[in-house]
Amino acid sequence: MSAPPLSCDCHAHVFGPFDRYPMPAERSYDPPLAPVAAYLALLDGIGFGRGVVVQASAHGLDPGTILDALDAARGRLRGIAVAQASIPDAALEDMHRRGVRGLRFTEVGYKGGAGFDELAKLAPRLKRLGWHAQLWAPCDKLAAELPRLLKLGVRLSIDHMGYFDPARGVNDPAFRKLVDLAAAEDIWVKMTPLRVSKSPPDYPDVRPFHDALLGASPRLVWGSDWPHVRMESPPDVGHLAKLFMSWTTDAALRHKFLVENPLRLYDFSPV
C-alpha cells in the first residue's frame, strides 16, 4: 500500500551535527545523530512529500536545529518549537517566517521545555500568529487539564495518541474523556502507536485505541517519531506508515489524515 502524494509525517526530530548544534549539559537523554538531510532522505524512502520537525526537549529552549532544517527544506517541512513567555515577539515572528506553526508544551518530567502554565501565558500570541499548541502529557493529566486549556481559544494538538496506558483498556475514564473531547472540540491527535504500545512491532494492544479515535474524530494525523529517542530497538518507519494505512481501511480517510489534515494544521502550501 503506497502513501498518497504529499503525505505528511507530522512528528519527527532532528539532531546535529553536534559541532554546530551542541546539546545543553542539562538534558534527559543523549540523542542520536539525526540531521535534516537524513530525515529528508527517510521521507523520500517511504514516499512522503512533507514532514514536521518538532523541537525535542534535549534542545532545551534553543530552536536553532529546527529553524535551520526548515531553511534547508524550502517549504517541504514545518516546525513546532519550544518557548517560554519571556520570548520576544520578534523571535516568534522570525520563526513564523521560517515555517514554525506551533509551540510544544510538555508535562512528562523531561528536562528542558515548557509546561502548560507557559501555554496560558503565551496563548494570546499563539492566536495572533495563527499557531496551535502541541501537548505532551500522560492521559490522566490531559483529561484533567484539557477543559481549562480549551478555554484559552488555541487549537490543540495531542502527542502520542494521548499517551495512555494500554493495560488500562480502551474504556479507561481518562482515555474516554480524551476521545469525547477530540470528537467535540478543536483538538487534533497525533497517531504514534510506538510510544504507547508494549507489543512491537505490530502494536496490537494499541489497535482498539486507534479504532476509538478513528471513529470519534476527523482531526487525526500520523507521525513516525523518528529517530525514536530512548528506544532500545527503533522501529522501521516504512512499517509504521504501512501499519497506519492498513488500520485506516477507508482510502478517503487515509488521504484526509495523511494529506488534508496536515495541510490545514501546519499551513502547508496546497501544492
Per-residue pLDDT tens digits for 29-53: 788 899 999 999 999 999 999 999 9
Q: What is the 3-state secondary structure (H, E, C) of the chain?
A: CCCCCCCEEEEECCECCCCCCCCCCCCCCCCCCECHHHHHHHHHHHCCCEEEEECCHHHCCCCHHHHHHHHHHCCCEEEEECCCCCCCHHHHHHHHHHCEEEEEEECCCCCCCCCHHHHHHHHHHHHHHCCEEEEECCHHHHHHHHHHHHCCCCCEEEHHHHCCCHHHCCCCHHHHHHHHHHHHCCEEEEECHHHCCCCCCCCCCCHHHHHHHHHHCCCEEECCCECCCCCCCCCCHHHHHHHHHHHCCCHHHHHHHHHHHHHHHHCCCCC
69 compared with 2, residue with greater pLDDT: 69
Q: What is the pLDDT of residues 212-268, one digit of tens each?
A: 999 999 999 999 999 999 888 899 999 999 999 999 999 999 999 999 999 999 999
Distance from C-alpha of 97 to C-alpha of 38, rounded to nearest angstrom: 24
Candidate CATH numbers 3.10.180.10, 3.20.20.140, 1.20.1200.10, 1.20.1730.10; the one for domain 8-266: 3.20.20.140
In this structure, the chain runs to a length of 271
Just list the catalytic residues. Answer: 225
* Residue ranges per structural domain of the chain: 8-266
Q: Measured over all CA atoms, what is the biggest interatomic distance in the chain, rounded to whole angstroms?
A: 48
Q: What is the pLDDT of residues 90-125, one digit of tens each?
A: 999 999 999 999 999 999 877 778 999 999 999 999
Name the one residue in this structure whose C-alpha cell is 517519531: 225
Please state whether the predicted TM-score (pTM) of the whole model is above 0.75.
Answer: yes
Q: What is the mean pLDDT of residues 152-167?
A: 97
- CA-nearest of 60, 61, 59, 44 to 7 is 44
In degrees rounded to 5, what are phi and psi of residue 103? -120, 145
Q: What is the mean pLDDT of residues 21-27?
A: 77
Q: Please, are residues 10 and 52 in contact by the beta-carbon 8 Å criterion? A: yes
Whether residue 24 has pLDDT greater than 80 = no
